[in-house]
Structure 1
Amino acid sequence: MQEPDDLSRMADFLYGNGVHLDGCELEEKAAMAEVRRRYPHKPFCLVRRWMLVDLLVAEQTLTGIQASGRLPLLVFAHEVVFDSAGRFAPGDWVRSSLCITCPEDGFFETGNTVYVLLGDGCTKQADYKLLFSIH
C-alpha cells in the first residue's frame, strides 16, 4: 500500500473524523463570564469547530515539553468566535500553543491564553511537522 501524500494527510487532518469530545455547553455570553471568573487576568478566545491535537513527537522532544511544564496537546479551531485580546478576527482559524492544564469542561489553558471550546469537537493525533506546516 502506498503512503498518503502530504496533501491527503493534510486534508484528513483538517476534515477527517476524529474521536468526539464534548466542549463547553454554555452560551457565548455565559462562557465569557465564566472564563473571566476562572481566569481573571488571562486573555481568552472562544472557538467553534475545534479539535484537541495530541502531538506525535520524538521521545527526546516529549521529555523537553514535559520538563517545561507543558503537555504535547494543543487546540486547532476552524472558527474563532471572539478573542478578548483582539489577536484574531471572528471567523479566523487558530492554532494554540501547548497546553499547561488539561481541558476541563471546555476550558483549555496555554501559557498565554484560555481557549473556550464551544459545542462539540474532537480529538486527533498529528505529527507536529504536519500541524505546523499550516499557515
Structure 2
Amino acid sequence: MSEVDDMEEHAARIALLQAPGTVMLGHDLDEDTALALLGERFPGRQFCLVRNWIWIDLDSPDDVREELSDMRLQPVMLYGDVVADSLGRFDKGDWLRSTPLIAFTQGCFFETRDTVYALLGHGERKRAALSSMVKIFRSAKERL
C-alpha cells in the first residue's frame, strides 16, 4: 500500500470514528457463551468476536444498491475491535472492517459471506459513504 493509500485509509477511519452515531443495544455475552452459540448456530463457519463495534449503513448510488441486492447482500458493513478470530487473521485488539451484510440474527450475529461476527456489548449505528468505507482496506477477507 502506498503512502497516499495509507493517508486516505487513516482519514476515512478517523471520519468514521468521529461521525455522530446512535447507540445500538447489544448483548452482554461473555466470550465463552458467544463461542458456544457460534458453534451451535454456525457449525464450521469462520468467526470473529468483536467489541466497540459500529454498524455502518452505507450511502451508495441506486445502481450499487441494486447490484448488492442482486447478490443477496445488504448495504451494511461492520467496523470493530477484535476480541478473537477463528482463523488467526487478526490479533486481539486489532480493528477490522467487514464485507457487506448477508443476515443479522439473534441481535448479535452479523453474517457476511465468509465470516460470522459476534457483536459483544453495545455498539453504534452510523452512516457512511460506500466510497469512504472502500478506503478502509483492512477487511478480514484481505488478511487471508
Settle same-fold status: TM greater than 0.5: yes
Over the matched positions of the two proteins, sequence identity in percent amounts to 35
Q: Give 1 or 2: higher helix fraction.
A: 2
Q: Cα offset for 1:9?
A: 7.0
Q: Cα offset for 1:22?
A: 1.6
Please tell me whether residue 70 in structure 1 is matched to residue 82 in structure 2.
Answer: no
Q: Runs (4+) of structure 1 moved beyond 2 Å?
A: 6-12
What residue is the counterpart of 1:110 in the other structure? 112
What residue is the counterpart of 2:38 in the other structure? 35
1:106-131 CA deviation, whole Å, 9 max, x = no partner?
Answer: 11000010001100101101001112
Structure 1 contact 22–106 (Cα < 8 Å) conserved: no
CA distance in 1, matches of 2:90, 2:13: 23
Name structure 2 gaps, 5 residues minimum: 1-7, 138-144
Q: Report the AA paired with residue 25 of structure 1.
A: D
CA distance in 1, matches of 2:76, 2:43: 23
1:46-74 CA deviation, whole Å, 9 max, x = no partner?
Answer: 00110110111000000000000110011
Name structure 1 gaps, 5 residues minimum: 1-5
Q: Cα offset for 1:31?
A: 0.7
What residue is the counterpart of 2:56 in the other structure? 53
TM-score normalised by the chain length of structure 1: 0.87
SS of alignment partner, residue 132 of structure 1: helix
Q: Report the AA paired with residue 50 of structure 1.
A: W
Please tell me whether residue 134 in structure 1 is matched to residue 132 in structure 2.
Answer: no
TM-align CA RMSD:
1.8
CA distance in 2, matches of 1:16, 1:134: 15
SS of alignment partner, residue 23 of structure 1: strand
CA distance in 2, matches of 1:85, 1:39: 15
Please tell me whether residue 82 in structure 1 is matched to residue 68 in structure 2.
Answer: no
Q: Report the AA paired with residue 14 of structure 1.
A: L
CA distance in 2, matches of 1:132, 1:119: 26
| Aligned length in residues | 129
TM-score normalised by the chain length of structure 2: 0.82
Q: Cα offset for 1:10?
A: 5.1
